[in-house]
Structure 1
Amino acid sequence: MTSLLRHQMFKTYYKPLSALLLAAAGMSSITISYAATYSIDPTHANVRFAIDHFGTSTNTGGFYNLTGQLDYDPQAKTGNIALIIPMNTLVTGNTAFDIVLKSEDFFDIEKYPAAYFNSSKWYFSDDSSESEVVRVDGNLTLRGQTHPVTLIATKFNCYLSPILKGRVCGGDFTTTIDRTKWGISKYTLLGMTEKVDLNIQIEAAKQ
């Protein structure tokens, strides 16, 4: 076999293979980025609260149909979230108790129909190989007063929603606040605790 013939055979059979290998190498270097802006899904966003009732039972309730925006970049380890909490969605399972909590003594929803949370800093896992959200600092505006709060992330994840047919990010957060900082001090002098546990659940769809 002449050297010319061998050269032609190499071009015929190995050049496509070389191109395929180069293409594969190029594809392997592509990094998928989920950095984007997401809209809060009201059907998967709520704030639930629990407060000790004079050392006996625990009163619970929640606010639903939250709206707002999430900005999230797991590669850069940055995030931002702005939540609007409609106070008239308050539900405890007891209509009479709902009316009491909506009154001036507690949330005063006629004067303050919405509460707001705006994050100021996100914290991620120290492991450089992970982008896990562990904590979110921010400010909670309630009854017209704004104070800092820290949310601890119990989980946070992104997935491809088969229903929305797009990427969704969200998670669960917890915190404990002192209600008197926001002017809700009813019954504290009688021994009812000022500490309120909050559980926040959010999901947001990519815009």
Structure 2
Amino acid sequence: MSNLLENKQSRYLPLLLILLTMVNTIGGSYAASYIINPNNTNVSFAIERFKSLSMTGGFYQVKGQLQYDPILKAGDISLIIPINSLDTGSKGFNKNLKGVDFFDIQRFPSAHFQSTNWYFNKSKVTRVDGNLTLHGVTHPISLTANEFNCYLNATAKNEVCTGVFSTTIDRTKWNINKHSWFGLTKNLDLNVHVEAMKQ
């Protein structure tokens, strides 16, 4: 009887190992990993001033990583946003926004976005949800994917993914409250431009 059981176990063991390998492959990794190109990745913003003028600016030299698999319809992106790179085109406004009343770069030199869910319509990326850590506070946000494509870049001779995402956040949720009731609206329109190269 024991010999019969051992024979059955030995017959099914290779099949079990194959199934476990398939599960680990599907659930544990993506098809491709990419490094964010900081020279072509930035977060631009627009904020309404005195209910008429729109002030614009951006954060530059954004770093991070991307993982993406169009077949499994899965993705993951992590971005580190250096707040000191903020530029509005006005030195005076830059200084104010970097100060303690707004982004307070001495205490909070960087922001971080980490995706939690990717959404697809067929093979097209439509939305990316994640957590934004800014000013020492973390809240979930949703990024609308206005554009996302991966292609072979002839110049780099490598696969490149580019994307444009947008969202609007209420800055007071991250305790950036200065002039939220007068002067500068609390809503901040964000556009995230991403370029990543395959590792």
Do both proteins adopt the same fold according to a TM-score greater than 0.5, normalized to the shorter chain? Answer: yes
- The one-letter code of the counterpart of 1:86 is P
Bigger radius of gyration: 1
The equivalent residue for 1:11 is none
The equivalent residue for 1:7 is none
Whether contact under 8 Å (2:49, 2:183) holds in the other structure is no
The equivalent residue for 1:5 is none
Question: Which digits, 9 at most, give the CA deviation of each residue in 1:39-85, with x for residues without a partner?
Answer: 00001100000011011110110001100000000000000000000
CA distance in 1, matches of 2:142, 2:155: 32
The equivalent residue for 1:190 is 182
- Note the C-alpha offset of 1:164: 2.0
Q: Could you say what secondary structure the match of 1:43 adopts?
A: helix
TM-score (norm 1): 0.80
- Number of residue pairs the alignment of both structures matches: 170
TM-score (norm 2): 0.83
The equivalent residue for 2:89 is 93
Q: Which runs of no fewer than 5 residues in structure 2 stay unpaired?
A: 1-29
Q: In percent, how many aligned pairs have the same letter? A: 55
Structure 2 residue 53 is matched with structure 1 residue 57: yes
CA distance in 2, matches of 1:185, 1:55: 17
The equivalent residue for 1:46 is 42
Task: Give the 5 Å matches for 1:37-186.
Answer: 37-125=33-121, 127=122, 131-186=123-178
CA distance in 2, matches of 1:35, 1:176: 31
The equivalent residue for 2:194 is 202
CA distance in 1, matches of 2:59, 2:189: 14
User: RMSD of the alignment, in Å?
Assistant: 1.1
- Note the C-alpha offset of 1:191: 5.3
CA distance in 2, matches of 1:63, 1:79: 23
